[in-house]
Amino acid sequence: MRWLQDPILDVQHLTMRFGGLVAINDLSFQAGRGDITALIGPNGAGKTTVFNCITGFYKPTEGMIALRKPDGSHMLLERLPGFSINWKAKVARTFQNIRLFSGMTVLENLLVAQHNSLMIASGFTFLGVLGIGGYRKAESDAIERAKYWLDKIRLTDRADDPAGDLPYGAQRRLEIARAMCTDPLLLCLDEPAAGLNPRESHELNALLLSIRKDHATSILLIEHDMSVVMEISDHVVVLDYGTKISDGSPSEIRSDPRVIAAYLGVADEEVEQVASEIGA
């Protein structure tokens, strides 16, 4: 129950309404520091909306999203402007439909991710244009870091190819590497295993476990692939119609009747039983 003792992300009473549609209804959950937390639920349950609220693409209608830094200080994500969530609060994300800079090379993609630190090194462009200051060194450091991630995702050979040329699985890995280049405390992955074959999703598991082990990065992921969810996650939160229906370790979730009902529906007898109880 690490998520209750030392949460990195604390979501309280989060509600998101789009006009009359309530996409998320009074959702509260915690994600533990150093945990891999999975957010699961049937299609349309509001998982991606939760992600968009956490990463600043939507401003929640109600509620609080607090990120706890290692030193114990809080940052309220719902109050930060969109780009600061990555830069100040150190929350990185990937997208359900891959959003790489397809016309830029793989290496450039990883350098764009290090924009803010390079921007400071180049004296906010003023020193960089004149060729003074430590930009050259900072850039070679950034390339070193990019190389480290390229080795990790096995794309070093394709570093100078356009990102749009990569096969699908490699694009997914590159997007994760790009998010990791921003040096995040919390990495939010929106369906990282979608469209991967069993071997690729097995590799993804290994990559995510090594990210957690080596980089002090906690992971929050949305996933439909149960082989990924059950194998690597420490904590599962289940959403249905915008409300939390279950929260616990993978083994608890696996046997929770509400989760099974949400995914598979309930038997006809039960429906009849409930119908007779309410006198319909």
156 binds another protein (CB under 8 A): yes
Binding mask 75-94 for another protein (x = CB under 8 A): -------xxxxxx----xx-
Residues 6+ apart with CB under 8 A from 273: none
249 binds another protein (CB under 8 A): no
Helix axes 168-180, 135-152, angle to 10 degrees: 140
Choices 20-28, 63-71, 252-260, 270-278 (CB under 8 A): range interacting with another protein: 252-260
Side-chain-side CA neighbours of residue 260 (13 Å) = 8
Site for another protein in 200-239 (CB under 8 A): 201, 224-227, 230
* Cα torsion angle, 138, 143, 148, 150, sign: positive
Closest distance of CB 24 from another protein, Å:
20
Tokens of 233: 């996650």
* C-alpha distance from residue 75 to each of 54, 64, 255 (Å): 12, 10, 35
Site for another protein in 14-53 (CB under 8 A): none
Closest distance of CB 257 from another protein, Å:
10
- Start-to-end C-alpha separation, the chain: 42
* Cα dihedral value 99, 138, 142, 90, nearest 10: -60
In the list 74, 168, 210, 216, the residue contacting another protein (rule: CB under 8 A) is 168
Specify the residue, 13 or 99, whose C-beta has the smaller distance to another protein: 99
Specify the residue, 2 or 224, whose C-beta has the smaller distance to another protein: 224
# of chain residues touching another protein (CB under 8 A)? 71
Binding mask 129-148 for another protein (x = CB under 8 A): x-----x---x---x---x-
Choices 14-22, 63-71, 195-203, 207-215 (CB under 8 A): range interacting with another protein: 195-203
Closest distance of CB 5 from another protein, Å:
27
Site for another protein in 171-190 (CB under 8 A): 178-179, 182
Specify the residue, 2 or 147, whose C-beta has the smaller distance to another protein: 147
